Chains A and B, each alone.
Chain A
């Protein structure tokens, strides 16, 4: 219990308090530890820990091949890629003019070739999948199922149009007309009276037309309905407000969780 529970909690508490209160003192050794040494120690630990992961990977994939489990053919690529990377990193340099160590970035080396012509295209392929996944996720998200989804759809359209060149060309009066028609739908649902709805829509359209003629139909007026200005407002005001609220909650959550770890209240990460 002492070595499995008490020591880890003591280490967490000591380093946690040192890091927390180290930010408030200007002592060079403490600052150096907090800003430099502690993260470097972790990086060194993680670098050695990679052996554990690599051995586990090899073991599992090799077992799959030997026992011919489902999908064992893919494991051949995994093991083969691992061996090839080891050879490129530690055995065959490919360019004798470059020192070991610098060969991972040096031109003409096997490792660099592997990185440029195998690893990078494969990573780019996976990243490119995101474009299609964004489209399919947007298609599902923008269906009008409820009020929130409708709001998401409308604000998404406004922001998308407002950020492309065609959005500058769309007149604010066109958007105003569409807005009046949209509010007309809401009025109809609220009052369920055709006369009120007709009166509202016709009155609104008439007033808008008179105002348009009076102002000379400028493209960017009224500013509230001009897409670039509207998307800017949506992006900078309600979006930032919501994001900040979430960030504050996240910040508080991180603070409370970290305090629980430092004070030893939460011990699940070392097993109960």
Chain B
């Protein structure tokens, strides 16, 4: 009787050949550079390994007609056991650890990332093509222009990110507010006072808050380096946890985990004006030498900034809340307006992939300016009756 369809006993012993087979499969997966998605997939499907194995057995004759895989059925038998799938995962992880970044000989990290990118891009394109070929069910065709715009914008960003990762350097103008962050931390260190960081009053579902937490990580690196006390009062519990993780990692990376305390990032209240009152109280009592406001703000922005001004602190603000920008501009020493705030992470980290993204944004702006000019001309021609096509209607999101 074929061993594949015989009932399995509890003690399924792996032979040396089986172990070698698993190691070969692990090596093949590692060579493609798809370690992370493969491990992810295997972890997810481990409980269903029996079902998957029977599925492979069922389609065995068809699959074997296209690819001559020796020991195909032995492989399906092996992968029936979740323990063997776990063994495969461990072999892949062992290979990854053994061939860590400094020891990579056969393939540089760049080539691996390149492979991963093209495979990922190929999968996405294939999925989109399949979706289109099956008749693109449920697709709202009046939003095609928007979909095309998103794909074009994303493609531009990805292109410049990869260009930066390949070693291309880009010119970025200086942003005084970002250069002043290190000066502000230095000033606090000299005066022996703390740095107060306010990451906005909204939760982590806002992009500005996430950007604020990321900038907090960079500021925490500076405070760790200069041994400056850092005080981060927050308005949301989830922001508190995220901020703590960011600060903890930063202090760890600077080699000063001893200086990190959980209570550096502490919760005050969810309420807008109660939070403003709490932060004002901290400013007046603790008298920080530097106040940084990075995130989403509403009416409390001027209360915070004016109080900070009254205690003589250097103030740097960054927000994408359009209505609050004028208040910060008048009350703070430096203000990061709109996209400068989102570029802060790239400027402070100097990571190539992030700098490439900034360049991509600038290219998108140039594209938008071009579309505005061409669109204005086309609209004028339409209004004069020279052309029948309404470009503005074409671009209007339905």
Contact = CB atoms under 8 A, between A and B. Distances in A.
Interface of A: 2, 6, 10, 20, 23-27, 30, 39, 42, 45-46, 49-54, 56-57, 60, 70-71, 74, 119, 122-123, 126-127, 129-130, 133-134, 136-138, 140-141, 243, 246-250, 252-261, 263, 265-266, 268-272
A109 B255 CA distance: 54
B32 to A, nearest CB: 17
Contact of A259 (B157, B211, B217, B245): B157
Interface residues of B, number: 81
A248 B368 contact: yes
Nearest to A78: B278
Contacts of B210: 257, 261, 269
B361 A253 contact: yes
Contact of A256 (B43, B203, B285, B361): B361
Contacts of B320: 250, 253-254
14 contacts: A46-B236, A46-B238, A49-B236, A56-B240, A130-B303, A133-B306, A137-B330, A256-B342, A260-B354, A265-B354, A266-B214, A266-B345, A268-B217, A271-B248
A271 B246 contact: yes
Contact of B330 (A57, A122, A138): A138
A159 B113 CA distance: 56
Given A6-B40, A260-B354, A270-B245, A70 B214 contact: no
Report whether over half of chain B's contact residues are helix, strand or loop; otherwise say mixed: helix
B177 interface: no
Nearest to B331: A137
A136 B302 CA distance: 10
A53 B303 contact: no
B273 A265 contact: no
A134 B237 contact: no
B289 interface: no
Nearest to B238: A49
Contacts of A136: 306
Contacts of B112: none
A24 B146 CA distance: 9
A27 B358 CA distance: 35
B357 A247 contact: no
Contacts of B273: 122-123, 126-127
Contact of A24 (B139, B154, B266, B331): B139
B338 A127 contact: no
A23 B143 contact: yes
B339 interface: yes
Contact of B241 (A10, A25, A49, A119): A49
